[in-house]
Amino acid sequence: MTFRTDRTPPPGHDEEPGATAARFTGRPSTAEHRLSGTLAEVTLDDGRVVMVKRGEGDGAARAEATGLRWLADAGTVRVPAVHGHDGQVLVTDRVPSGRPSPEAAVRFGRDLAVLHAAGASAFGAPPPGGLEDAYIGLAPMRNVPGSDWPRWYAEHRVLPYLRRAVDAGTIRTAETPVIERVCARLPELAGPAEPPARLHGDLWNGNVLWGADGHVWLIDPAAHGGHRETDLAMLHLFGCPHLDQVLDGYQQTAPLAAGWTDRIALHQLFPLLVHAVLFGRGYAEQALAAARAASAG
């Protein structure tokens, strides 16, 4: 994997995507197609197509690049090659799109299990060379290492976003005990102790690409050390094609602890609170419902 960092521009460069792609790949661009204000496809003179992504926050490009490299180092799930990044932009290969299939789903489940088993040094550990102050989507996410998952999950994932949601008025102060009680009970709700897994960290359906090569590719990680059930809970949260087959492949490779389905809502609490902070009251109500379900489970 090529991984070139910092080939000049910042401060606040207004470089065109084609010029950025050329800077990091060493190949002239022949065409560019803007997909959004922050994302563009650029065709190089040798026919390859790369993605040029402008980060939404300071260090976002570096956090994503180090996350992709860390996932790739496990040699399991496919991720696009990183050509380089600077303070604001990231250049990666484009993944040619295909169609979801049961066969690819089973293979993805097996690969995901092996990725998780590659491990991390601690819960909350960032990828090597990564940032303590990273991102999940558009939201800041702190990677603070811890040795005890229930305590770490409460202190560094759930409660910070609960506070943000309350400050924003998205969750009412009177509603906070519903979630705070779950945090207090995490040692009994979390299930058997697990070692830190190497997580994608933002594994919703939009970050799961079904490639033309018949494999699943993962993009846009919020990679860190965490509990492997968290990635699986994210796949459940927003749906994933052939999810039953993904889970079959996973269980064939690394069976999950008994009662894991009862803990899905517990692991969804963090991403739902993130969405509540970013997108409003509808997700706050889902987070509160997940907290009630986690307590019942």
Q: Write out pLDDT tens, residues 163-222.
A: 999 999 999 999 999 999 999 999 999 999 999 999 999 999 999 999 999 999 999 999
Q: At which of 33, 60, 93 does a domain end?
A: 93
If asked whether residues 172 and 109 sit together in one domain, one would say: yes
Query: pLDDT band for position 57 (50/70/90)?
Result: low
Reported as a pLDDT band with limits 50, 70 and 90, residue 8 is: low
Residue 56 is part of which domain span?
Answer: 4-93
Together in a domain, 184 and 226: yes
Backbone angles phi, psi at 209, to 5 degrees: -105, 130
Residue 37: phi and psi, rounded to 5, are -70, -15
CATH number at residue 268: 3.90.1200.10
Residue 137 banded pLDDT, cuts 50, 70, 90: confident
264 pLDDT higher than 60: yes
Q: Is 113 exposed, middle or buried (0-12, 13-18, 19+ CB in 10 A)?
A: buried
CA-nearest of 131, 180, 133 to 158 is 180
Statement to judge: residues 72 and 132 lie in one domain: no
Structure confidence at residue 99 as a pLDDT band (50, 70, 90): very high
- The residue written with tokens 């506070």 in the block is 163
CATH at 32: 3.30.200.20
Give how many domains the chain has, as a whole number.
2
In angstroms, rounded to a whole number, what is the distance separating the alpha carbons of residues 117 and 228? 9
In this structure, the answer to whether residues 70 and 156 fall within a common structural domain is no
Structure tokens at 184: 């207090």
This prediction has a pTM of 0.92
One-letter identity of residue 63: A
Residues 143 and 125 in one domain: yes
**Same domain assignment for residues 84 and 121:** no
Whether residue 111 sits in one domain with residue 67 = no
Q: Do 85 and 8 share a structural domain? A: yes
Locate all alpha helices (DSSP H) within the chain, ordered by sequence: 17-25, 60-73, 102-117, 149-153, 159-167, 176-184, 186-189, 228-237, 243-253, 264-279, 281-296
Q: Which of 75, 93, 111 is the last residue of a domain?
A: 93
179 and 73 within one domain? no
**Shared domain check, 229 and 268:** yes
